[in-house]
Structure 1
Amino acid sequence: MMNMKKIKIVHLYYDLMNLYGENGNIRYLKRKLEEQDFDVSVSFQSIDDAIDYTKGDFYYIGTGSEENKKIVLEHIIKDKDKINKAIDDNKYFLVTGNALDLFGKKINTEDDEIEGLGIFDYEVNEEDLRVVGEQYYESKLIKEKIVGFQNRNSILMNNGANTLFKVIKGTGNKPNDLEEGILEKNFFGTYLLGPILVRNPYFTEYIVKKICKDFNVKYKKIDKDVSYKAYQEYLNNFYNE
């Protein structure tokens, strides 16, 4: 097709932060952008690479083990100024699961304080008690509800940024907190893990529409795929909607 808009997705630390099949988010987003006639390329970057935060349009990082998270932090922290500028420049970031820990001021463990990227003012406490289970949220971005799963020992404290979701059932950034995630410009961060874009097709649709607007591409309505049916069946079975 003539004059297809090019867009580059960068899957950050794809080998270390892909504990729950997060690469499904990349495949689904790529397909949804291609349906809008984007020419989509995907770059896989990790600790052996010099990551360029000016060449990509959409950066994604998912969930890893606690050990891998700290390995990634040692590598990514040298790029904190570049990442901060990329966010200021309205690059898209989707950060899921415990990758969200990396973007705060510090991570407090039982034995240590580890410096974070400092993009946002929050701190993270690693606790012995884990937050595990299905989550049911709402968002000011879309009218449809958000579903997902958490499995984390991270408690996000002292958040001064805008939040992405509001808890209906489940856990927020910390216990008894109704706010979950981080929303700043085109930065979408949440402790929901796994293929959340596949599980939440309306949320993905919102992101794709926003990208289309930013790239001056007219959004065209596409027939709903099986992910929409799966989403609705899940709501019907578990939340009686």
Structure 2
Amino acid sequence: MELNICHLYPDILNLYGDRGNIITMNRRLEDRGIRVNIEECSIGQPLDIDRHDIFFIGGGQDFEQEVLLRDLAAGKGRDIRSAVEDEKVFLAICGGYQMLGQYYKTWDGSQLDFIGAINIHTIGAKERMIGNYMFRTTPESSGSVVVGFENHSGKTYLGEDVAPLGMVLKGYGNNGEDQTEGARYKNVFATYSHGSLLPKNPVLCDFILQTALIRKYDSAEPLAPLDDALENNAHCYMEQRLQKG
């Protein structure tokens, strides 16, 4: 078995070590004897959606998002929408999460229209939502507790056909109002969680990888267990800190 991973805009969207998610997926697959091919795709480069099984989009600030709009409008936006509807697996973090949505309206009224791959929109606020946080994913997304770091001023709201990735236990999540965090649509996993997300959340990582394997091979054996002592220690340390408040 093998999986092909596409890292979208790695030179532009890589806040707070988001590239660590690519490293983690690669390592957890290779440790199980599953071949991994990782390719990068940035501005001006063609995107082959048929070749790839997993697409990763990291986080960026408002400026970086504006820089990408022309490239997305030139064809990548259409390609990404097609890949989402074809149930390819996406992991999108913060700014990458927002870009998959309909639009971002800044607090002073300016609007950035994004690609509309998922039915969400984001409204900017003057105050940032920042800090370590945790949430529990829905049963459809592993049902695990996730710890991470959020730093965003945008408040994201989900459309009727989009489910939350999870519900906030500590922190702000999508908007600090409805206790939702992230989005799940088809095989899109979107979240505000930097940190990076996957190294200290191995249960969610394996769930995403298993989702990609099942989509590609119709059925797949459960992933063999790994020695996750270090990962679990990092996870538990932060979970305990957050629980103590």
TM-score by length of 1: 0.90
Structure 1 match to 2:238: 234
User: Is 1:35 the equivalent of 2:31?
Assistant: yes
Count of equivalent residues: 236
What is the rounded CA distance, in whole Å, between the counterparts of 1:61 and 1:180 in structure 2? Answer: 17
Q: Is the 8 A contact 1:63 1:194 kept in 2?
A: no
In structure 1, stretches of 5+ residues that fail to align are none
What is the rounded CA distance, in whole Å, between the counterparts of 2:193 and 2:89 in structure 1? Answer: 18
What is the rounded CA distance, in whole Å, between the counterparts of 1:7 and 1:91 in structure 2? Answer: 12
Structure 2 match to 1:195: 196
Aligned to 1:49, the other structure's residue is in SS state: coil
* CA positional deviation for 1:225: 4.2
Q: Is the 8 A contact 2:170 2:242 kept in 1?
A: no
Relative distance call for 1:158 and 1:212 in structure 2 (3 A) is closer
Q: Aligned AA for 1:87?
A: V
- CA deviations over 1:124-155 (Å, ceiling 9, x no partner): 11222111111111112334311111111111
What is the rounded CA distance, in whole Å, between the counterparts of 1:238 and 1:168 in structure 2? Answer: 9
Aligned to 1:199, the other structure's residue is in SS state: coil
Structure 2 match to 1:174: 175
What is the rounded CA distance, in whole Å, between the counterparts of 1:6 and 1:209 in structure 2? Answer: 12
- CA deviations over 1:88-147 (Å, ceiling 9, x no partner): 212110001122111121121224222110122322112221111111111123343111
- CA deviations over 1:74-101 (Å, ceiling 9, x no partner): 2123322321221121211000112211
Q: Aligned AA for 2:176?
A: P
Q: Is the 8 A contact 2:158 2:183 kept in 1?
A: no
In structure 2, stretches of 5+ residues that fail to align are none
Decide which of 110, 113, 120 is 1:112's aligned counterpart. 110
Structure 1 match to 2:50: 54
Structure 2 match to 1:98: 95
* CA positional deviation for 1:175: 2.4
Aligned to 1:239, the other structure's residue is in SS state: helix
What is the rounded CA distance, in whole Å, between the counterparts of 2:226 and 2:16 in structure 1? Answer: 28
User: Is 1:128 the equivalent of 2:129?
Assistant: no
What is the rounded CA distance, in whole Å, between the counterparts of 2:156 and 2:236 in structure 1? Answer: 30
Please say which of residues 179-188 and 201-210 is displaced more in the overlay: 201-210
Q: Is the 8 A contact 1:104 1:118 kept in 2?
A: yes
What is the rounded CA distance, in whole Å, between the counterparts of 1:191 and 1:182 in structure 2? Answer: 10
What is the rounded CA distance, in whole Å, between the counterparts of 2:148 and 2:56 in structure 1? Answer: 17
User: Is 1:21 the equivalent of 2:14?
Assistant: no
TM-score by length of 2: 0.89
* CA positional deviation for 1:217: 4.0
What is the rounded CA distance, in whole Å, between the counterparts of 2:103 and 2:143 in structure 1? Answer: 34
- CA deviations over 1:198-233 (Å, ceiling 9, x no partner): 121111122233334343443222222411221122
Q: Aligned AA for 2:77?
A: K
Q: Is the 8 A contact 2:187 2:211 kept in 1?
A: no
Decide which of 60, 72, 79 is 2:76's aligned counterpart. 79
